[in-house]
Structure 1
Amino acid sequence: MTTTLLSVARTLDNCTVLGPGTRAVIWVQGCPLRCRGCVAAETLPFEGGTPRPVAELTEWLVGLSQVAGGVEGVTLSGGEPFSQAAALVELIDTVRARRPDFSVMAYSGFRYEALCRGDAGRRALLDRLDLLIDGPYVASKHGSLRWRGSANQRVLALSDRYAHVLTESDTSAGIELSLATDGSFAWAGVPPTSGFREGFEAHLAARGFVLHAEARREP
């Protein structure tokens, strides 16, 4: 029996700044784009990452959704999720077979219209999304926007579940910080100001902290 693997840069159990409600996050490894100012450049090479079986990720997501106050869905970031569309389709389907109400949001550096003209795997992933943030990150259009880095990027409701978010305040959801057991910091979110990562890393390094970026790339 063939085991489907997903190349993963990192995961996060609990996040409230990368989509509606409380969500798990998967940052995939590898992106064909090279947007200037990407805040997660370490996720761009297709080399690296950790091969994770879809079955293992399914158990992780289902477990997170079953606990009291658990996550309501997953946000797919990276890297470029649509570069691993087939594996993500399998993951979504296996999770929803057990948790039909599990929601899915994704980021992509490609425009929605281009994804619609893509191969069957990309179209299948689109069909399973509740929300899509599309378009490349453009540093000159950086703004303090909800869930995205630049004004050219769009929040697209691909199902009725989150259609209401399109009428809500379009201001930054902010970032979240966490302190690891080894004393290092991690962060997740979309920086409301350009140059955030460089300045924050320098500020912490001067005080002896190591920063792990758990932010989505700004495609």
Structure 2
Amino acid sequence: MTTVSVSRLHFPITTLGPGRRAGLWLQGCSIRCPGCISVDTWEPGTGTVPVAELLDRLNVIAGEADGLTVSGGEPFEQPDALAAVLAHWRAISLTSTLVFTGRELGEVGGWLAEHPGLVDALITGPFRSDLPQTLALRGSDNQRIHALTAAGAGMLSYDRVATTADRRLDVAFDEHGHAWLAGIPARGEMARLRRVLAAAGHRTVTSDMVGALS
């Protein structure tokens, strides 16, 4: 394994776990949950870079980050790259790791057994637009937080009903001037954002719209 497909890497992220975290989104997802707001991360094989390049970029961030959050896409569809990233983070940082997956705990149990201690906390389960969204750090109430290490036990503070503060979003801009949002918006927030921007005279296309049109 010498390459990895990356959607984006950003620091700091404040809406996907405690503190100012490094946020890594791996590219490619075959689960493709209806209503997903990250349709742009579905296509596999794009954004491919050498693993060494990604690890070098993490080196720059690690000294200031309060942890690493990995999402996607579906991180476990690049299992070797995921292991390399998390093992490297363990080598350069004492901070916590949080991984989001659309798979259930039993589906990734083999990987976790092969790589003990690399994931402190895991949020599992596919996004279900037909279910309520009342819980912190989750898009639908079927998703579960699992503390896998002592450090991960701190993430259980999110195992509660979401507050308004939990629906904050980080806003970042890429080199092309495209804006993207990090976090877990409340239902309908993306549509409301489009309406607000349209009222101000802006035309917007968001990744959830792309999914609906494809």
Distance in 1 between residues matched to 2:81 and 2:88, nearest whole Å = 11
1:171 partnered with 2:169? no
Task: Check 1:201–1:6 CA distance in 2 against 1; reply closer, same or farther (3 A cut).
Answer: farther
Map of 1:114 onto structure 2? 107
Distance apart, 1:202 and its partner CA: 4.3
Please state if 1:130 is matched with 2:120: yes
Unaligned runs of 5+ in 2: 208-214
Q: Find the partner of 2:47 among 50, 60, 65.
A: 50
Count of matched residue positions in the alignment of Structure 1 and Structure 2: 202
1:32 counterpart residue number? 30
CA contact (8 A) 1:24 1:74 kept: yes
- Alpha-carbon distance change, 124 to 52 in structure 1, aligned in 2, over 3 angstroms: farther
Q: Normalising by structure 1, report the TM-score.
A: 0.80
Task: Name the structure with the higher strand share.
Answer: 1
Distance 1:179 1:43, change over 3 A: closer
- Closer, same or farther in 2 for the Cα pair 1:126/1:142, shift >3 Å? farther
Contact 1:82 1:122 in 2 (8 A): no
Q: Residue 162 of structure 1 corresponds to which residue in structure 2? A: 152
Equivalent in 50, 57, 67 of residue 73 of structure 1: 67
Relative distance call for 1:4 and 1:179 in structure 2 (3 A) is closer
- Larger mean CA deviation between 200-209 and 88-97 belongs to 200-209
Q: Superposition pairs for residues 13-24 of structure 1, below 5 Å? A: 13-24=11-22
Cα drift, residue 122 of structure 1: 5.8
Paired letter, 1:115: V
CA distance in 2, matches of 1:73, 1:179: 19
Q: Alpha-carbon deviation of 1:158? A: 0.8
Stretches (4+) displaced over 6 A: none
CA distance 1:54–1:22, change in 2 (3 Å): same
TM, length-normalised to structure 2: 0.82
What is the SS of the residue equivalent to 1:208?
coil
Taking a change above 3 Å as real, the CA distance of residues 123 and 203 of structure 1, as seen in their structure-2 partners, is farther
Instruction: Report % sequence identity.
Output: 33
Using CA pairs under 8 Å that are at least 6 residues apart, name the structure with larger relative contact order, 1 or 2. Answer: 1
- Asked whether 1:199 is paired with 2:199, we answer no
What is the SS of the residue equivalent to 1:149? coil
Equivalent residue, structure 1, for 2:212 = none
